[in-house]
Structures are given as C-alpha cells and as structure tokens.
Amino acid sequence: MANEVIAAIATPPGRGGIGVVRISGLRLESMLRALVNMDVAPRVATRADFRSTDGGVIDQGLVLFFPAPHSYTGEDVIELQGHGGPMVLQLLLRRCLDLGARIAEPGEFTKRAFLNDKLDLAQAESVADLIDASTAEAARCALRSLQGEFSQRIEAMVQGLIDLRMLVEATLDFPEEDVEFLEKANALATLEDLGQQLAAIFAASRQGSLLREGIHVVIAGEPNVGKSSLMNCLAGEELAIVTDIPGTTRDAIRQTINVHGVPLRMIDTAGLREPIDKVEKIGISKTWDEITKADLVLWVSDVTRLETSVMDPDIAARLPTGVPQIRVVNKIDLCGEKPEKNAAEKATEVALSAKTGAGIERLRSAMLEAVGWGGNEEGLFMARERHLQALQMAQTHLGQASASMSQLELFAEELKLAQHALASITGEFTADDLLGKIFSHFCIGK
C-alpha cells in the first residue's frame, strides 16, 4: 500500500476556473514524462499539454513536480493544474490510473505526510480543521496548530516528563539515595510546574475546541413565545416562518451563526406543550432529542403571558442537568420594558425584543459566557475530542504521581503513563486503527 502510486482530483466537485489532479508515489519521473512529454524543472510551474495514451492533448495547464523528500507527502508529487471542468478532470485522472496509479483514499496524501515525518499527527489533523473552519478565528487557530505551536507545547511537556523520569529511574537504580536524590533535584517543584503547564494547555485547548466544534444551541419554550422570531433575529435573515398561530414550527430549523468568531449552531424547535395532532407530537419529540444533545438551551418566554414565565415542573424535570441555560424574556417591546441581563439563581436571564432587536447583543454575549468562552482566540489550540481526553488523562496521571512520590515504582509508572498520553496527541504512540479513523474523515485529494 505505501509503495503504490496514488492520484486524486484535489479540487471540489463541480465546474471551476481551475482544477487540480494530484499524484504521489516513488520515482514518478517516467509517469511525468508520459503525462507531459517534456522535461520539467523541480518546483517550477511549467506550462504543458497533458497527453492521452495516443499522444493527443487532454488539456493545457501548469504542471509542478516536487521530487522526494521535498514535497508535501515526502514522496515524489506531481500536480496537474488544468481547467476545472468535471469531464476534463476525470479524463486526466483516468490517464493517471492507466499509467499505474490508483485512486487515493480520503486523507491518504496527508496520512503519507505523517508516516514520512513531514507532519506530526496533531498537525495533520489541523489540515482538515483548516479546511473545515467556519470562521476567521477558527481558521487562524487551525493554522497555528498546522505551524506546530500546539505540537511544540506538547513536545516540551513530554520532554519535561522524560527528564523527570530519568531522575526517578536513576533513584530506583541507587535506592540508598532515593529521597535525598529527588529532593536535591527539586523533583516535587518540577512536577508542580509540569502540572501548571498542562493545566494551561488544557484550558487553551478546551477554548479552541469551541472554535472547531461550534456550540450546539437549542431554542426551546412553549408555543408562540417568539422562538422563531428570535432565530431569525440572531441569524439576520428570515429562516423560520413566523405567525401568531401556536404550533407553527413543526420541525427543527438549523442555522450556524458567527458570534465574535465562535460558530453557534442554532436550532429552532417546536413549542413544548401537549400535542394536538400526530405531526406536532413528532415535532415535540424531536425537540427533546435536540435538547438532550445541546451545549446550551435558550428557554424563551413571553413577557406579556405570565404563564410562560414559570417553567412547567414536568418540563424542568426533563431538562438535562449540567447543560447551561439562558432564560430569554421576549417581546419587551409590547410592554415598554428595557433590555437587560440579570444573573438569576439557576440561569442567566436576558430581557429582549426579537422583533426590534433590542437586547440581542446582550444575549449574544451571554451565550458565549454560558459556555465558558474567554473572548480571545490568541494562543488557543484547535483541539479535538481525542486531544482533550489525552490531556485529561495526563492530568489524572500527574495527580496520581504527586500522591505517590513516596512509592518510587508507582511514581515512575504514573509519569510514564502521563508521557504516553501526551505523546499520543502528536502520534508518537498511536494505534494503527486510530490513524485509519482520523484520516478517513479527510476529503479525497488531501
């Protein structure tokens, strides 16, 4: 598999001004000659005719040749940059297959870059994160990880643990000097410093994960309290149908909005009440499904209807514990109240008018505060769930190491486990099945 030549269309499906076919493998000079019938200087864009089997011209464009190891994958890489018509690109790809290449699997180019030590695993994942970034802040955060900032912090932690392990292993080899040796080396202070560094990395990673994953926000409440109007106001466009008829919204309406660089995945849901027909019953069931998966719930009430201001006890009992809530008091334009934000006993309360937009900015700020957003993407890392789990695991092992310093064998083992947890982030210790799962989510051609 690793020695096979792979090829793929590296630009999105559909018509475009330019289309790219990418090829990677070992010793591609003969394939390059067959494709363009001319000498091509390394790393120089050269105008060429792309040739078919019979010597005819498939397309005209630019060809680039990156000899190994100075390429993205660490192998020979050819890029054919032609016209972006689907049929032209398919003909070029078919020509590459005729010359012995096979179609690349999703993420296989980047996987080869990782296996050939051109990128570590965290950098490789950041390639996909940069492509998928939905805000400018998320793109900048992913780029920092691609440039190696996250990996450098992790590698510094790993090296610190290795140095500390060396001290402990030396102490185990000379047991008569155990406690004094570690005390002279200031091992406890070193461990505490590593713990502080790890806590800072985890905090920056947890914030960065909000940029990557977005925040799943569910707008819920009784019928006709203005949930759809609130959705439209937050999105800045008429996404949901708004009427004064209770139960208008039957199915969830989704829209991603950008609030200070953080993607919020908003979901407008059917009003919660005793359903009056089968369709509404299905809609309410879907509402509860969305609430159980929410990172934040906006519970909307109508200031002109006192009965909506107090949540039904049965509904309150079903709301998931641990999920932040914001109580949105809507329609203040009908009673002359001012927009405001108050910290209530169980949830932040924001009074606003979805019709006029008064108080909407307060709600946007409250949503970010509720999920712990710090308000500055500088220094954050585009962390994935597996990164957070590895960091948490390392924190656990460091805590257990601190508690077992008097038992040197256990102390050494906990330090080793913490090191391995951190090293899994960059791929130094990574199972093959995890690699397959990670790269399978990349786009073909990358």
What's the CATH architecture for 6-112?
2-Layer Sandwich (3.30)
pLDDT at res. 241? 45
Nearest by Cα to 122 from 383, 445, 380: 383
Strand order in the sheet with 57-66: 46-51, 57-66, 76-84, 16-25, 6-9, 102-103
Q: What value does the mean pLDDT take over residues 158-175?
A: 78
Please state, as a whole number, how many other Cβ atoms lie within 10 Å of the Cβ of residue 406. 9
Q: What value does the mean pLDDT take over residues 219-235?
A: 85
What's the CATH architecture for 126-210+381-427?
Up-down Bundle (1.20)
Q: Which residue has the higher pLDDT, 136 or 175?
A: 136
Within 8 A by CB and 6+ apart from 435, the residues are: 111, 114, 121, 427
Under 8 Å between Cβ of 390 and 417: no
How does strand 57-66 pair with strand 46-51?
antiparallel
Note the maximum CA span of the chain: 83
pLDDT at res. 248? 46
The pLDDT tens digits for 293-313 are 888 888 888 888 877 777 777
Contacts 24+ apart (CB under 8 A), 393-400: 393/417, 393/418, 393/421, 394/157, 394/198, 394/418, 394/419, 394/421, 394/422, 395/195, 395/198, 395/199, 395/202, 397/421, 398/191, 398/194, 398/195, 398/198, 399/195
Confidence of residue 32 (pLDDT cuts 50, 70, 90): very high
Concatenated DSSP letters for 32-98?
HHHHHSS---TT--EEEEEE-TTS-EEEEEEEEEE-TTSSSSSSEEEEEEEEE-HHHHHHHHHHHHH
Q: Is the pLDDT of residue 142 over 60?
A: yes
Averaged confidence pLDDT in the chain: 84
pLDDT at res. 247? 47
What are the domain boundaries of the chain? 6-112, 126-210+381-427, 216-294+296-370
Confidence of residue 154 (pLDDT cuts 50, 70, 90): very high
CATH 1.10.167.10 fits 216-294+296-370, yes or no: no
Give the type of residue at 85. G
pLDDT at res. 245? 46
Under 8 Å between Cβ of 195 and 398: yes
The pLDDT tens digits for 49-74 are 999 999 999 999 999 999 999 999 99
The pLDDT tens digits for 85-130 are 999 999 999 999 999 999 999 999 999 999 999 999 999 999 988 8
Concatenated DSSP letters for 137-164?
HHHHHHHHHHTTHHHHHHHHHHHHHHHH
pLDDT at res. 98? 95
Percent of the chain topping pLDDT 70: 86
The pTM for the full model equals 0.74
Q: Is the pLDDT of residue 246 over 50?
A: no
Query: Would residue 393 be called left, alpha or beta, if left means φ above 0 and alpha means ψ between -120 and 50 degrees?
Result: alpha
The pLDDT tens digits for 200-212 are 999 888 888 888 8
Name the DSSP class of 243: -
pLDDT at res. 392? 95
Confidence of residue 182 (pLDDT cuts 50, 70, 90): low
Nearest by Cα to 255 from 134, 151, 350, 415: 134
Q: Is the pLDDT of residue 430 over 60?
A: no
Q: Is the pLDDT of residue 178 over 60?
A: no
pLDDT at res. 282? 72
The pLDDT tens digits for 329-366 are 999 988 878 887 777 666 788 999 988 989 999 999 89
Q: Quickly tell me which residue has 């008829």 as its tokens.
A: 245
Q: Rounded CA gap, 431 and 69, in Å?
A: 25
